[in-house]
């Protein structure tokens, strides 16, 4: 069984059996087809730990669109873009303006340069500089939840902060997330930041370590509950192997072709899943 499946099943069962329903509350999200409120069952403070040295944490209970997942990651962290015209998928379409911009969100925040004693860096380049020059530092982190710019964002960041830490030549990461749609986005985000940790480790000369995923509000939308129940009753497969092109030594040289899954088996899940806006 894939460990990612194990954690997903455990998290979803706990939410369904013990979670809090916000039915009747004045919630912000709504369903795009009829604009009715999108209510959830939720748990506060879900923490999952993935040892990336053992396996790549991708679900097998349903297919994760691995290449699209990485494409969005590169769009945010490598291109530092906020325009959906530079993204191959359409997952951000609902939050973009007529020009394709999602405002001062996600990649935009990572690309803003700041002045440090060592020079001028944006957040990604600061991480790369510190991993090379100060791997013992406890200050290697990023944060894109910029209160000054929230009013100019199409969507407030969900996954908003990472902290990197080197211990015994292993690079570890904490991903902080304020809100998590378990069915639509949980394993998508886990895969993305597992890939990001692999990328940072490879170009900095470290072994890959632990991804710690901290979710403040882990929820299942009301229209997703039945689908989640069906999915978590399936029998998971073993996790696939991750291949990353070992010749890439520069963070900005990675492309989609530099990542592959070997022996990825998954259950087909062809139901159309509504997405809350």
Question: Looking at residue 234, which CATH number applies to its domain?
Answer: 3.30.572.10
pLDDT at residue 32, as a whole number: 87
Among the residue ranges 87-96, 181-190, 213-222, the one predicted with the least confidence is 87-96
User: Is residue 275, in this structure, part of any structural domain at all?
Assistant: no
Average pLDDT over residues 82-108: 96
Strands 170-181 and 207-221: parallel
> What separation in angstroms does the CA of 145 have from each of 80, 160, 232?
15, 6, 33
Tell me the catalytic residues.
Answer: 158
Instruction: Tell me: is residue 62 an annotated ligand-binding position.
Output: no
Average pLDDT over residues 119-131: 98
pLDDT digits (tens, 9 = 90+) for 66-81: 999 999 999 999 999 9
Instruction: Tell me: is residue 221 an annotated ligand-binding position.
Output: yes
pLDDT digits (tens, 9 = 90+) for 186-233: 999 999 999 999 999 999 999 999 999 999 999 999 999 999 999 999
What is the token pair recorded at 228? 């989640």
User: Is residue 272, in this structure, part of any structural domain at all?
Assistant: no
State the pTM of this model: 0.97
Contact (Cβ atoms closer than 8 angstroms) between residue 178 and residue 205: no
Please provide the average confidence, as pLDDT, over all residues in the chain.
97
Instruction: Tell me: is residue 178 an annotated ligand-binding position.
Output: yes
Phi/psi zone of residue 103: left (φ > 0), alpha (ψ -120 to 50 degrees), beta?
A: left
Instruction: Tell me: is residue 114 an annotated ligand-binding position.
Output: no
User: Is residue 148, in this structure, part of any structural domain at all?
Assistant: yes
Residue that the structure tokens 């399936």 belong to: 234
Contacts of residue 147, Cβ cutoff 8 Å, sequence gap at least 6: none
Q: Which residues lie across from 242 on neighbouring strands?
A: 261
Does 26 have pLDDT greater than 90? yes
pLDDT at residue 127, as a whole number: 98
d(CA 6, CA 217): 19
Instruction: Tell me: is residue 252 an annotated ligand-binding position.
Output: no
User: Is residue 277, in this structure, part of any structural domain at all?
Assistant: no
132 pLDDT band, cuts 50/70/90, is very high
Average pLDDT over residues 24-34: 94
User: Is residue 270, in this structure, part of any structural domain at all?
Assistant: no
Number of H helices, E strands in the chain: 6, 10
Looking at residue 58, the DSSP 8-state letter turns out to be: -
User: Is residue 242, in this structure, part of any structural domain at all?
Assistant: yes
d(CA 277, CA 257): 32
**Domain hosting residue 234, numbered range:** 3-262
d(CA 100, CA 94): 10
User: Is residue 79, in this structure, part of any structural domain at all?
Assistant: yes
Instruction: Tell me: is residue 219 an annotated ligand-binding position.
Output: yes
User: Is residue 209, in this structure, part of any structural domain at all?
Assistant: yes
- For the chain, what is the domain count? 1
Average pLDDT over residues 156-178: 98
Instruction: Tell me: is residue 220 an annotated ligand-binding position.
Output: yes
Average pLDDT over residues 159-170: 98
């Amino acid at each position: 069984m894939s460990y990612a499946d194990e954690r997903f099943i455990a998290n979803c069962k706990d939410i369904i059996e013990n979670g809090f329903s916000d039915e009747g509350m004045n919630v912000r999200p709504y369903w795009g087809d009829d604009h009715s409120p999108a209510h959830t069952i939720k748990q506060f403070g879900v923490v999952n730990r993935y040892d990336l040295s053992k396996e790549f944490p991708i679900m097998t209970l349903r297919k994760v669109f691995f290449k699209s997942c990485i494409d969005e990651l590169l769009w945010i962290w490598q291109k530092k873009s906020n325009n959906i015209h530079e993204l191959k998928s359409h997952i951000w379409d609902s939050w973009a303006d007529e020009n394709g911009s999602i405002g001062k969100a996600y990649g935009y925040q990572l690309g803003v340069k700041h002045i440090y004693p060592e020079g001028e860096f944006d957040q990604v380049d600061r991480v790369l500089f510190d991993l090379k020059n100060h791997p013992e530092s406890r200050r290697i982190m990023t944060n894109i939840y910029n209160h000054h710019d929230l009013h100019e964002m199409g969507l407030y960041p969900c996954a908003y902060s990472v902290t990197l830490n080197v211990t015994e030549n292993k690079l570890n990461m904490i991903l902080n997330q304020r809100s998590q749609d378990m069915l639509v986005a949980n394993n998508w985000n886990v895969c993305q930041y597992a890939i990001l940790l692999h990328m940072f480790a490879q170009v900095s000369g470290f072994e890959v370590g632990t991804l710690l995923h901290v979710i403040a509000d882990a929820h299942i939308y009301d229209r997703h509950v039945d689908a989640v129940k069906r999915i978590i009753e399936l029998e998971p497969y073993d996790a696939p192997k991750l291949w990353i092109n070992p010749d890439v030594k520069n963070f900005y040289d990675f492309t989609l072709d530099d990542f592959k899954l070997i022996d990825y088996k998954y259950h087909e899940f062809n139901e159309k899943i509504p997405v809350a806006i």
